[in-house]
Amino acid sequence: METKENIKEILEKIQEAEYVLVGLGQYFDMKYFLSMQEGYREIIEKLQESHALWMEPYVDTCCRKQFAPKLEDEMTKGLQNLAEMLEKKSYFVVSTSTNRTLREIPWKKLLIKKERYVNPCGEWSKLQCPDGCPEGLLPVTDNEEKILRDWYQNMKKGDFRIPDLGKCPNCGKELIFNNIYAEQYDEKGYLENWAEYHNWLQNTWNHRLVILEIGEGTRFPSIMKNPFERIAMFQQKAELYRIDEEQNPIAWLLALC
């Protein structure tokens, strides 16, 4: 567990830094908690049987609100604390979580209409063609969100039919969510923000950089864990801090206020 002295030290380092790189990991999916819920496990089994695991990030969103609303609220508040603390810094956020809430935190813009946030694993804010047609990469609309809310309520009553979220304008196949659980994940959904991240990262060379890795596991080491280590190793003015699951990342974030 992080002590108050450790938290104070990290906060001081952030205040001194010119750049801050934040990594938000798979802890924020809350799989450890959801997997203990029988209702959640049943839904995931049904999705697997239907070859529709691409629905999992949306199911996770609904189940967090149903089974862990207090924990979800605490996570959101903690991330808002972090965003407010970084408001006057040059920073970038990289996430391996498929929790859409992380994208909705008020991270300030890097440039006009360009986010300071990238999540290479996707979530459920975009739709893609299951075969990767370029024309099939589309945003989820308000109407589709209503369809999804209705689907979740019906699903809880035993109707596990996969919702119709529209057709690919090129090949006519039913659209699916653009995330890592898709059988043919279309990575174009995050590549623009990924390029912005690397452009930002180049500017940190020979500057005071603090790297915060919060709640990351080992599932996708090539996205965050390994690159962060290399940056800390080769950039003499970079410092890496890791807040892992044993240290309770949500409690750590709440302590930032």
pLDDT digits (tens, 9 = 90+) for 171-225: 999 999 999 999 999 999 999 999 999 999 999 999 999 999 999 988 899 999 9
Q: Is the pLDDT of residue 237 over 50?
A: yes
Q: Is the pLDDT of residue 59 over 60?
A: yes
With beta carbons less than 8 A apart as the criterion, state whether 20 and 14 touch: yes
Beta pairing class for 176-179 and 138-139:
unpaired
pLDDT at 222: 95
Handedness of CA 130, 143, 147, 75 (dihedral sign): positive
Nearest 5°: CA angle at 137, between 132 and 142? Answer: 140
Q: Is the pLDDT of residue 153 over 80?
A: yes
With beta carbons less than 8 A apart as the criterion, state whether 133 and 168 touch: yes
Exposure string (b/e) for 31-60, b if CB count within 10 Å is 16 or more? beebeeeeebeebbebbeeeebbbbbbbbb
Integer-rounded Cα Rg, in Å, for the chain is: 19
When pLDDT is cut at 50, 70 and 90, the band that residue 43 belongs to is very high
Query: Sheet holding 138-139: strands in order across?
Result: 138-139, 122-128, 176-179
- Please give the Cα distance from 192 to 201 (Å, whole number): 14
The one-letter amino acid code at 198 reads: H
Q: Is the pLDDT of residue 5 over 60?
A: no
pTM of the model: 0.92
With beta carbons less than 8 A apart as the criterion, state whether 52 and 94 touch: no
Among the listed residues 251, 236, 242, 204, the one whose alpha carbon sits nearest the alpha carbon of residue 221: 242
Query: Tell me: the pLDDT tens digits for 87-117?
Result: 889 999 999 999 999 999 999 765 555 689 9
Query: Tell me: the pLDDT tens digits for 6-21?
Result: 888 899 999 999 999 9
